[in-house]
Chain A
Amino acid sequence: MTDLADTDTSDSRPSSAADAATPAVGITGITKRFGDVVAVDDITLDIANGEFFAMLGPSGCGKTTTLRMIAGLEFPTEGSLTIFGQEVGTLPPNKRPVNTVFQNYALFPHLNINDNVGFGLKMQKVPKREISTRVGQALEMVRLGNMGLRKPTQLSGGQQQRIALARALVNRPKVLLLDEPLGALDLKLRVEMQGELKELQRNLGITFVFVTHDQEEALTMSDRIAVMDAGQLLQVDPPEAIYERPVNRFVADFIGQTNLLEGTVESADTVCLANGARIPLSTELATGTAVAVILRPERATIGPRGQAPSGRSAVDGVISEVTYLGNAVVYQVALDWMQIDVREENRPDADRHDVGSEVTVSWDDRAVALVTG
């Protein structure tokens, strides 16, 4: 596994990577327009060396375009793009120290696996013997050492995915770009590959930039996540911060399940919900600002009407639907003014509630966050 990372003596590329402060990828004021359509709208972002960085957003949010600009497959309309300090804005893809794992893998159908993996090295005029050694190592790394003579079509989706990974990593890129690499795999394989990718990245120490629309995937794997929507960068933070302290309603809603309770700021430490209930929440927002309280389904608990433990905020409601998930039960609770979801782990000691039960939903005041807009 580590072979690829530390036998790097023959690499002829400039090693400006030594400077730890230089970001692996520096994006400054990048805009990309296709005709009238603004795909990426003035984003600025630094990706640190060795980071597992995810770009997350719904389809059409500009995440793939951003990745393609780093790869050199698109050129930015405006702004500056650097890779380890070197300006690469309009450099063609073959002149950049990055490699890409494509969404549909894009393996060359006319070449066997060895030639596919060795393609990049051959183009860089690496001596034949070294190519075969490195191809062998790369195939070992993805545990497909015996597949070298097969054609891509003879491999399963998961195997093709690994070959695509080997074909990129064999070149020892400074940054590896992954465009929804797990999207075409079934759930079980995807979870397995998530773990492998993460481990690989830790061992190699290469910067991974990962594009996905799957928020769970982003949360599990990344050091930091950039959430994008409509070409805009909304938030760049570690997974925990994204989940716990989303900057706005979109991020809160896109990452995980959430209940958004509308309200207004009443004072520096009170928010008045739409039904008039007051809950203590310290905020710096001005009095009267319209806000939403983010209540994650798993952060609330359900108890019999009027029996909320002291020190917790509570609202009354009626159970309108019960969904049994196996490991948990999700209750849909009808409040006076909206519906919310509450998720309870399926423990033997947990009380079960039936549809129509009158209940009180309560939560710890530290468990919620506030967003505007």
Chain B
Amino acid sequence: MTMTEAAPQGPESAPDVVPDDVAVATPEFEAAAERAKSRRGFLIALPAYAYLLIFFAVPLVIVMIYSFGTRNRFGETELSGWNLDAYRKLTEPLVRDILFRSLWLALLTTVICLVVAYPFAYFLATRGPTTRNVMLVFVMIPFWSNFLVRNFAWRVLLGNDGPFSRFTEAIGLGETRILFTPTAVVLGLVYGFLPFMILPLYASIERIDLGLVEASRDLYASGWQTFRRVLLPLSMPGVIAGSILVFVPSLGAYVTPEILGGAKTTLMGSYIVTQFLTARNWPVGASLSFTLTVIMLFATILYFRKGGRTL
């Protein structure tokens, strides 16, 4: 780019002066250099591309193909004669309810995570480096033990004679029956996915110049207005990233609803597993999986575009 400035005087004088073995900067030369650069970039990213292609894209296509198949009398899937029968299952009230319940609980989980995580992330981002690091480690500690084990721990906590129930009994509120309800599932999901909300929020709040908060306060904004007009818009990338990281796994969650939800709160993840393993109806399982994937994709795109405007 820098060499093009000298170009105008080129036509008359340059051809005589420039030796043959020196490359002259031309638009073609630059374009070639640009192509070489992007080729190098692709090579570096190749392992990740290959991995995603083999273990994500290909299986997804297989799922899609199976969703158009038919279950025969023996519980096998026939791929000849593609049809949309499996997708008709979605219109059944039972499946529809499960889908809406899953969407609702995932949304609820995301909102609760956001409300709980934001103040904490802000607090974290405004501490000194030592406090910050110690508290970040605290955020990670749950990951050190198995997810399944932690969910069973919640079962004990929320059980009818567990500590939580004992406590409410002791203060005169009576025994609580939370376990095997949607409430228990949301509690478990929030617990499980909260760090995924905290970390991106922290990362984006930490980048905000806190002088802007002072400027806002100086310009007659109250604390709430400062949050609404300055902090929130500037931390939107973190809000979006965190929300997607919580919403997507919540929607397809299997372990937590299975352990804390009980039979009454079947969610999409459990229902799909049933279709594959118990009912041996692979086309229906595949069609539901694929539908869920598409919903997540659209939710993500929508969220990015909506957030993108405020960035």
**A contacts, CB < 8 Å to B:** 71-73, 92-94, 98-100, 102, 104, 106-110, 119-120, 123-124, 167-168, 171
- Bound Cα distance from A100 to B222, whole angstroms: 16
Assembly CA distance A48 to B209 (angstroms): 33
Which residues of B sit under 8 angstroms from A100, Cβ to Cβ? 214-215, 218
Which residues on B are within 8 Å of A, measured CB to CB?
209, 211-212, 214-222, 225, 229-230, 233-234, 310-311
Contacts of B217 in A (CB 8 A): 72-73, 92-94
Contacts of B214 in A (CB 8 A): 73, 93, 100, 102, 106
Q: How far is the CA of A358 from the CA of B217 in the complex (A)?
A: 63
A106 near B211 with CB under 8 A, answer yes
CB within 8 Å for A171 and B233 given contacts A93-B214, A106-B211: no
| Chain A residues in 8 Å Cβ range of B216 | 108, 119
Which residue on chain B has the smallest CB distance to residue A103? B211
Known A106-B211, A108-B212; contact A123-B218, beta-carbon cutoff 8 A: no
> Judging by beta carbons under 8 Å apart, are A167 and B233 in contact?
no
**Could you give 13 example pairs across A and B, Cβ below 8 Å?**
A94-B218, A102-B211, A102-B215, A106-B211, A108-B212, A108-B230, A119-B221, A120-B219, A120-B220, A123-B221, A123-B225, A171-B219, A171-B220
Closest chain B CB from A231 CB (angstroms): 22
Q: How far is the CB of A106 from the nearest CB of chain B, in Å?
A: 4
B212 pairs with A123, CB closer than 8 A? no
Contact A94 B310 (CB under 8 A): no
A130 to chain B, nearest CB (A): 15
Q: Which of B219, B310, B311 contacts A119 (CB 8 A)?
A: B219
Q: Contact: B215 with A106, CB < 8 Å? A: yes
Give the A-B contact count at a CB cut-off of 8 A: 60
Are B211 and A124 in contact, CB atoms less than 8 angstroms apart?
no
Known: A94-B221, A124-B220, A171-B220. A109 touches B215 (CB 8 A): no
Q: Are A110 and B209 in contact (CB under 8 A)?
A: no
Query: Roughly how many angstroms separate A237 CA and B222 CA in the complex, as a whole number?
Result: 37
Contact of A104 among B211, B220, B311 (CB under 8 A): B211
Please give me the residue from chain A that is nearest to B311 by CB atom. A110
Cβ A167 vs Cβ B234 within 8 A:
no
Per the bound structure, the CA–CA distance linking A152 and B19 in Å amounts to: 46
Please name the residue on chain A nearest to B232 by beta carbon.
A110
Q: Are A99 and B219 in contact (CB under 8 A)?
A: yes
Of chain B, the residue at the smallest CB distance from A119 is B219
Cα distance, A73 to B226, chains bound together (Å): 14
Residues on A with beta carbons closer than 8 Å to the beta carbon of B234? 109-110
How far is it, in angstroms, between the C-alpha of A92 and the C-alpha of B213 when the chains are bound?
13
| Chain B neighbourhood of A110, CB < 8 A | 233-234, 310-311
Task: Tell me the bound Cα distance from A179 to B142 in angstroms.
Answer: 45
Q: Which residue of B lies closest to A177 (CB)?
A: B218
Residues of A within 8 A of B225 (CB): 123
Instruction: Please give me the residue from chain B that is nearest to A73 by CB atom.
Output: B214
CA separation between A227 and B70, bound complex, in Å? 88
A30 to chain B, nearest CB (A): 19
- The closest CB in chain B to the CB of A124 belongs to B220
Of chain B, the residue at the smallest CB distance from A173 is B218
Q: Does B215 contact A123, Cβ atoms closer than 8 Å?
A: no
CA distance A283 to B311 in the complex (A): 67
Shortest CB-to-CB span from B209 to chain A, Å, is 7
Residue of A nearest to B212 (CB): A106
Name the 9 nearest CB pairs between A and B, nearest first: A120-B219, A106-B215, A123-B220, A93-B217, A106-B211, A123-B221, A94-B220, A100-B218, A93-B218
Q: Which residue of A lies closest to B208 (CB)?
A: A109
**Quick one: given A73-B214, A93-B214, A100-B215, are A106 and B220 in contact (CB under 8 Å)?**
no
Inter-chain contacts of A107 with B (CB < 8 A): 215
Q: Quick one: closest A residue to B233, CB to CB?
A: A110
**What B residues does A119 contact at CB under 8 A?**
216, 219, 221, 229
Interface centre among A92, A94, A99, A104 (most CB of B within 10 A): A94
* A73 and B218 within 8 A (CB): yes
A104 to B311, CA, bound (A): 21
Question: Considering the chains assembled together, what is the distance between the CA atoms of A110 and B218 in angstroms?
Answer: 18
Given contacts A106-B209, A110-B311, contact A123 B233 (CB under 8 A): no
Interfacial chain A residues near B220, Cβ < 8 Å:
94, 120, 123-124, 171
Alpha-carbon distance between A120 and B230 when the two chains are bound, in angstroms: 12
- Residue in chain B with minimal CB distance to A97: B220
Chain B residues lying within 8 Å of A120, measured Cβ to Cβ, are 219-220
When distances are taken between beta carbons in the complex, the residues of chain A under 8 Å from B310 are 110
Closest to B219 in A: A120
B306 to chain A, nearest CB (A): 15
Extra contacts, 15 of them, besides A119-B229, A123-B221 (Cβ < 8 A), are A71-B218, A73-B214, A93-B218, A94-B218, A106-B209, A109-B212, A110-B234, A110-B311, A119-B219, A119-B221, A120-B219, A123-B229, A124-B220, A168-B219, A171-B219
For residue A94, which residues in chain B have a CB less than 8 angstroms away from its CB? 217-222
Residues of B within 8 A of A167 (CB): 219
Smallest Cβ distance from B231 to chain A, in angstroms? Answer: 11
Q: Which residues of B contact A108 (CB under 8 A)?
A: 212, 215-216, 230
Q: How far does the Cβ of A88 sit from chain B's closest Cβ, in whole Å?
A: 13
**A34 to nearest B CB, angstroms?**
13
Bound form: Cα–Cα A106–B210 in Å: 9
In the bound complex, what is the Cα–Cα distance between A108 and B215 (angstroms)?
9
A92 to B230, CA, bound (A): 17
Q: Which residue of A lies closest to B209 (CB)?
A: A106
A85 to chain B, nearest CB (A): 21
The docked-state distance in angstroms from the alpha carbon of A71 to that of B219 is: 10
Specify which chain B residues have a CB less than 8 angstroms from the CB of A71 in the assembled complex.
218
How far does the alpha carbon of A168 sit from the alpha carbon of B218 in the complex, in Å? 9
Chain B nearest Cβ from A25, distance in angstroms: 15
Instruction: List residues of chain B with CB within 8 A of the CB of A98.
Output: 218
Query: Please, how many angstroms separate the alpha-carbon atoms of A73 and B218 in the complex?
Result: 8
Residue of B whose beta carbon sits closest to that of A109:
B234
Q: Report Cα–Cα, A72/B215, bound state, in Å.
A: 11
- Compute how far the CA of A100 lies from the CA of B217 in the bound complex, rounded to whole angstroms: 10
**How far is A106 from B212 in the complex, measured between Cα atoms in Å?**
5
Closest Cβ–Cβ distance, residue A200 to chain B (whole Å): 19
In the docked arrangement, what's the CA distance between A340 and B65, Å? Answer: 92
A106–B214 Cα distance when bound, in Å, is 9
